[in-house]
Structure 1
Amino acid sequence: MIKISTVELYVIQMPLKSPFLTHLGAVKDREGIIVKVTNTDGLTGFGEGVAFSTPWYTEETVETCLHMLKNFLIPLLQKHPIEHPGELSVLFKSIKRNNMAKAAIETALWDLFAKSHLEPLSKIIGGTRAVIASGVVVATDSTAKALQQIENYLVDGYQRIKVKINPKQDYSFLSEIRKIYPDLPIMADANSAYSLKDIDRLKALDELNLLMIEQPLAHDDIIEHAVLQKEIRTPICLDESIVSFDDARKAIEIGSCQVINIKMGRVGGLHEAIKIHDYCFERGIPVWCGGMIEFGISRAHNIALASLPGFSIPGDISASSRFWDEDIISPEVTVENGVITVPKYPGIGFEINEKRLQETLLSKKSFFF
């Protein structure tokens, strides 16, 4: 049994080094939830709630996650002790959606579980990679700025570039980048900016030899993506549409995509993410690990997840310095020669930078078991 003594919720906020721009808006400051679980032996595990302050990516926000954690998820855990973090998916089944809130506490328990077994989290979940390939996102409204960012990222060794697009900034934008970098692995992320009326616009992108186009159509769709995939050569990758294992299974069965982006927060935690990975791996569907402009704790969990064998495409797991002047973990995540080393220490393999955590702290609440 995982004998919990306390769960602590920290709400923190930190400015990004530069704004993260999409057609849905700009992120200049990142607010988030850090979950600390302590067991009766004094061991601690950390998770991170990756919802944003406003519901632009999913319906969840920092405030809704706090509400769910305080009033539903933590009380359930207080009443029903568990033996293994994977049991939370069953315990929380009575609560619809709210996946980012669920993942916040589930990932903390995975970290604690791995530490209690003196094993790295990557090994506990079956990871096979000693290093993972790192990709990065270009999110700007200027071709010149995009080219400058790409140049800087390539100097840093990133192996894949993702470019945010929308109907006002797609073919001409990407073609300028492709002219300068004819062989660079590039993918486009549309964040649901298109509809089936835009098929011709999306077909035009085929000639740019993109790795994939991510979530071109509605955030909750798999039917029309199947229609679109039959009309374009560029592989479609689904992101927002995949909030559960069943979503992934159905999307693959009807041909909605050729690639899936797995985000622990979006699907409700590490247990569900592993199920999706395993299903895709058995069927030869490539997967990669998406990013949420995370702090270091979620970044560390992503490193463990991406060590699984099916993660064959570089994910959005960049260095801590990509977004932050100083992260809340020590040591910070670094990229060397395009890869990140998977930690060999127990749990997520990083310590918490308590000084930085306190500097960014907005509020804290404790729950006793």
Structure 2
Amino acid sequence: MRIERIRLFVLRQDLRHSFETSSHRKSGIEHILVELTDAEGQTGWGEVAAPSDPYFGAETTVTAWEIATRYLVPALLGAEGEEPADLEAVWERIRGHEFAKAGFSGAVWDLYSRTRGLALAAALGGTRDEVVAGVSLGIEPSIDDLLAQVEVQRAAGYPRVKLKIAPGWDVEPVRAVRAAHPDLDLHVDANGAYPDDADSAAVFARLDGEGLTMIEQPFGPRELVAHAVLQSRIGTDVCLDESVVALGDLRSMIRLGAGRVLNIKVSRMGGLSVARAAHDIAVDAGIPVWCGGMHEFGVGRAANVAISSLPGFLLPSDVSGSDKYYAADIVDPPVRAESGLVTVPSAPGIGHEVLVERIERESSRTFDTAAAHVHGSALARG
């Protein structure tokens, strides 16, 4: 593979239903799409799923665009390699900026698998032809509104529901959902919103009695010791998300006993290669994993489905159908869930046709190396 052309697109899609976490509420999603073209004219697509605001982490759409155009594009344009790792190596000196890297990694893997006539899942080592999907529900204006949303998703066949929680919105809504759905695979996600103090400990002690599958990221990203202490005090599994960015973080989690479950977000960890390595480490340590989501459009969602086909993904992943979030998607066919199951595509690459004309028409910002003079990489200049 030799990368001859790179295009970037900033695209916004409105959500069907606004979504609130412990930090903010959003009604639409803006992501960057990456198209790579090789010397034979084959293309591969990836998605930079960085949030618009710096609440989940430091990266945003704006910072990802800057890193992509100033560093990743110049480093990758003209690069050659037989395997995805060969091309991903061009940005290994860039510290951080995992969301930006993940979009390019996804495009590299899509291109690689298409050129070899392989489904992306097969190229990654996947073993399943369908994966179990769960849904994530945000903070609602009232408990009745939340219960209505749970009913909608259960009627759609999803076997697992994740509830966003925050101080003041935790025990009561969880108990209400549990009372209405005693057999539901239910877990909660705090996005690191709780301080490590006695009040938080009391909240998690109460949630420990609600039969939750897991309590996800209760404390801040760097609070590995706090998570380890909490895990030693409650029976419910603690799951880490924002705390595990690099593989070293995962090894620290394992050594400290800071959690028993890992949420692998491809974007958070810098791409499919790192996500696959994290899966392998977790499997060796006996830690079940699942694939978290960032409200990806069809390109990123298809990559999540592919990684979720690996054998260690033992819990439902955030790979719900496109129609759960968007009226229309940018891939054909859209990602679909039937009775909580998503079929893993067998066609080459991500297994979906990317609707290029729609992306070109609706994007608010574009970049094309065929039309721009791309200077040498800042990395090469030291």
Which residue in the other structure is 1:190 paired with?
A: 190
- AA aligned to 1:51 is A
Where 1:16 maps in the other structure, the secondary structure is strand
**Following superposition of structure 1 onto structure 2, how do residues 52-63 of structure 1 map, counting pairs within 5 Å?**
52-63=51-62
Number of residues of Structure 1 aligned to a counterpart in Structure 2: 368
Which amino acid in structure 2 is aligned with residue 39 of structure 1? D
Per-residue CA deviation, residues 237-260 of structure 1 (Å, 9 max, x unaligned), is 000011011111110111000000
2:146 aligned with 1:146: yes
1:27 paired residue number: 26
- Equivalent residues in 2 for 1:164-313 (5 A)? 164-197=164-197, 198-313=200-315
Contact 1:156–1:338 (Cα < 8 Å) also in 2: yes
Unpaired segments of 5 or more residues in structure 2?
375-382
| Contact 2:79 2:87 (C-alpha < 8 Å) held by counterparts | no
Match of 1:336 in 2: 338
Q: Deviations over 1:31-58 (max 9, x none)?
A: 1100000111111100000001111111
Aligned 8 A contact 1:14 1:360 in 2:
no
- Mapped to 1, the partners of 2:129 and 2:18 lie a distance apart of 32
| Greater shift in the superposed pair: 303-312 or 89-98 | 89-98
Q: Secondary structure at the match of 2:312?
A: coil
DSSP-derived class of the 2:364 partner: strand
State the 1:79 CA deviation: 6.0
Aligned residue for 2:191, secondary structure, equals coil
Q: Show structure 1 runs of 4+ deviating over 6 A.
A: none
Report how far residue 360 of structure 1 moved: 2.7
Question: How far has the Cα of 1:83 moved from its partner?
Answer: 2.6
| 1:19/1:146 CA distance change after superposition, 3 Å | same
| AA at the equivalent of 2:21 | T
**In 2: Cα distance, 1:24 partner to 1:111 partner:** 33
SS in 1 for 2:36: strand
Identity among equivalent pairs (%)? 38
CA spacing shift, 1:207–1:336, aligned 2, 3 Å: same
Measure the CA separation in 1 of the matches of 2:212 and 2:264: 19
Superposed counterparts of 1:315-334, under 5 Å = 315-334=317-336
1:88 Cα deviation from its structure 2 partner: 4.4
TM-score (norm 1): 0.97
In 2, Cα distance between equivalents of 1:309 and 1:117: 23
Moved more, 94-103 or 140-149: 140-149
**Residues 48, 298 of structure 1: 8 Å contact kept:** yes
CA contact (8 A) 1:65 1:101 kept: yes
TM-superposition CA deviations, 1:92-116 (whole Å, max 9, x none): 2211100011111111010000000
Superposition CA RMSD, Å: 1.3
Counterpart residue type for residue 269 of structure 1: G
Task: Give the whole-Å Cα distance in 1 for the aligned partners of 2:289 and 2:180.
Answer: 28
Match of 2:366 in 1: 364
